[in-house]
Structure 1
Amino acid sequence: MLIVSELWTNALLHSGTSEITLSIKVQNGFLHVIVDDGMPGFPVSKAADEEALSGRGLALVDALAKEHGGEWGTTEDGTATWCTLALPQETAS
């Protein structure tokens, strides 16, 4: 939920568009999250000091994705930001 919230908020605050699409699917053992705002541009992770009210979202997305065997990025045209997370493998009883 935190990753969805961060990607959605970035699209809402920085794209200037009024239409944002969220896609979530499970495929090949991964959860795929895609937030598409249709506006070309690439997110930039910034260093935020401890007093800053914003600027930590992409660092959180990066840390959570890595912690869960995934990654994040932006589509080639810059209109969507995505994240993948490895799903826990089921164990046989």
Structure 2
Amino acid sequence: MRRIIRAQLRYWDLTALADDATLAVSELVTNACTHGKGRPVGLRVRCSVDELRIEVTDGSPTPARLRSADVADENGRGLLLVSAVSKEWGVSPDGRMTWCSLAIPEGGA
């Protein structure tokens, strides 16, 4: 998925977003694989004039949630990282999709 997002961003001439988008995709897909209870995982990336939207579905009605992790914890920081690099993030009303959006830099796309 990381290679796919990087290739798509090159195609859209948005390589300035590659690091943040790759991190967001990695974290959202990992969450879906880990917590989706074996359901198929989907990735959709859309680009508009002012934002890049990343959507990951896992079919589980349990919504993703921001957790707090202690210093020694090995996990629990994924959505915190997504929140840090994105303009906003959220979960669909049915809990099956987690998304984030990144601002397109001026002069991009």
What is the TM-score with the length of structure 1 in the denominator? 0.87
The amino acid across from 2:26 in the alignment is S
Deviation per CA, 1:40-82: give whole Å up to 9, x if none. Answer: 11112221111111011111111111xxxx1000011111000
Which residue number in structure 2 is paired with residue 17 of structure 1?
Answer: 38
Moved beyond 3 Å, runs of 4+: none
Instruction: Flag structure 1 segments of 5+ consecutive residues without an equivalent.
Output: none
Q: Which has the higher strand share?
A: 1
Give the alignment of 1:43-82 within 5 angstroms. Answer: 43-65=64-86, 70-82=87-99
Q: Is the 8 A contact 2:39 2:60 kept in 1?
A: no
Q: Aligned residues: percent identity? A: 40
Aligned CA-pair RMSD? 1.3
Q: Which has the higher helix share?
A: 2
Aligned length: 87
Instruction: Flag structure 2 segments of 5+ consecutive residues without an equivalent.
Output: 1-21
Q: Which of the numbers 48, 54, 59 marks the counterpart of 1:33?
A: 54
